[in-house]
Chains A and B, each alone.
Chain A
Amino acid sequence: MSDTEAALWNPPASTRSAEPEGLAALRAVPLFHELKDGELKKILRLLHERTYQPGEVVFREGEPGAGMYIIKRGVVDIVIKLADGTEKVIASLTDKQFFGEMALLESAPRSATCVVRQRTELLGIFQPDLQTLIERDSRLGSKVLWNLATLMAGRVRAMTESMRAQRTGGAEKK
């Protein structure tokens, strides 16, 4: 994974220490970047807390996605299936990192499988919750959507750079 890609998976360092664990986890997620405490608390009320055991699958590649997960505590692997049938871990994520945010916008099939490596506590926010948030608090909903759009733009830029690098590398080899 390139540095730019890694930056998109990784949260910024948490600046506060004496706050509830859920709130700290939320603050670390770029999707909720620059939200006030009151706003974060509103989002916290929407979250679903789930506990997974090692080896358990959170979602599988190809299943319709419904939302994103924030790791409160634990480790998960993001695994893709390659054309030759082998499987490849594209990211190992731990505390306060997040995954599956694309599913907040569309119910397209998941592009990878998420497998839990240690006992993991996840906070899930789902499309219906985001819709409710937008309907009930359009100001806060807009902030979250803006952050999501910024995040997606970053992903597209990273992907474009990666493809350009691959193409340049290929041309040099020729």
Chain B
Amino acid sequence: MSVESARLIPPEQELTLGQKVVRTVVALCALALVCALLWLLRFLVTPVVLAFLMSYVLGPLVDLMEDRGLPRWAAVLICFGVGLGLLVGVGAALWPSLDTWLKETPKVGEKSVFEIQLAKRLDEWEGALSGVYHQVDWRTIFRELRDVLETQRKGLMEGLPKLALAALSNAGTFLLAPIIGLFILLDGSSMQKAVVSLVPNRYFETVLVLLHRVDRQIAAYLRGAASESGLVALLLTVALFAVGMPNALLFACIYGAANVIPLAGPVIGTGAGLLFSLLDPNAPSAGVLLAAYGAVYVVDAMFINPLVVGKNLNLHPLTIIVGISIGGNLAGILGMLVIIPLIAIGKAILGTVMDALRQRALV
């Protein structure tokens, strides 16, 4: 069978200038509407982002169980149960040190053990330094240091009730995240199909391929980062426990969470442990701690990172520094932790979109 004719394929629709202008205006209006809607619903952004992160991390486990014959709903519930169990387990392990800390919290007019310890250390350092470098006015320097620390302490004590109130008012947001995550895990593929079905036929293949590539990039990055943080935290718990560091699990968790930030993360994590060791007489010396942190860093850099994270997103150090500054400025430590994965995800999306559009000669 073969039919020959001059025109069997409908020509590609060439838009007139007027049509192009109208389409651009409509697209811009739609974009503005979406932005306005996002602004109105900004309280939902955090739980939705957290829910997506959760679903990316738990997704492969759910898929694995489903492929082994378990109904998807059961696999999701088991994963949530295990996740919740892990959180409760870590909380229970951290509770004794937190409990001690809370009991040590002073009443009005009293000083905490931490403050007494700090004052004692400052006196020791002042005495030691004054004995070696006579020409420096250590008395004035340490008086100013004590003033600064006192101002910070007062600020923190006055700010604590506000912080607790803010945490309570945001509790709903953090409860919403697992609920949204649950539904994404249950019906994620159907939701994606429903979204793709809305795309006009002309752009359908492009959008489908694009969504898949972005999804893979984000999943690989997030799963890699989560696994790396978990393994590093586990390894550091063992190392810190071995050198006799009090609250080893707590400091390992801080290091693991900070490890998400490239370059600065290990420094922040190590800094937290070292600062504590300077103030706590029960902590091992700074040198021993530095050796423990250093060993874990080397194992991470040489074995865990290349094995677990795999394809690096290659963020430029300047991007990381600027990103951390912006994140820290916007939302403190949490902002610093979240900004780098967000930049990495943004880079993955942009790179993939541009690749796909270039391939299809749309740009």
Contacts and interface: CB of A to CB of B under 8 A. Distances in A.
A58 B201 contact: yes
Contacts of A58: 201
B140 interface: no
Interface residues of A, number: 37
Interface in B303-320: none
Interface string B210-233: 001100000000000000000000
A88 B205 CA distance: 25
B62 to A, nearest CB: 11
A41 B196 CA distance: 20
Contact of B208 (A63, A66, A87, A115): A66
A146 B140 CA distance: 82
A134 interface: no
B298 interface: no
Given A64-B360, A128-B209, A136-B63, A55 B8 contact: no
A90 B307 CA distance: 50
A164 interface: no
A128 B9 contact: no
6 closest A-B pairs by CB:
A128-B212, A89-B3, A87-B8, A66-B205, A88-B4, A79-B8
Interface string A48-82: 11101001111110011011000000000101011
A118 interface: no
**Most chain B Cβ neighbours within 10 Å, of A60, A81, A87:** A87
A86 interface: yes
Interface string B174-212: 000000000000000100010011000100110011001
B154 interface: no
Interface of A: 1, 45, 48-50, 52, 55-60, 63-64, 66-67, 77, 79, 81-82, 85-92, 107, 113, 115, 124, 126-128, 136-137
Given A48-B193, A90-B1, A92-B1, 6 more contacts: A45-B189, A50-B201, A56-B201, A85-B6, A115-B9, A126-B205
B169 interface: no
**Size class of the B contact interface (CB-based, 8 Å):** 20 to 34
Given A67-B205, A126-B209, A86 B5 contact: yes
B5 A87 contact: yes
Contacts of B196: 48
Contact of B7 (A57, A77, A87): A87
Contacts of B209: 66, 126-128
A79 B201 contact: no
B12 to A, nearest CB: 8
B10 interface: yes
A90 B189 CA distance: 36
Given A56-B201, A59-B205, A126-B209, A77 B8 contact: yes
A101 B8 CA distance: 23
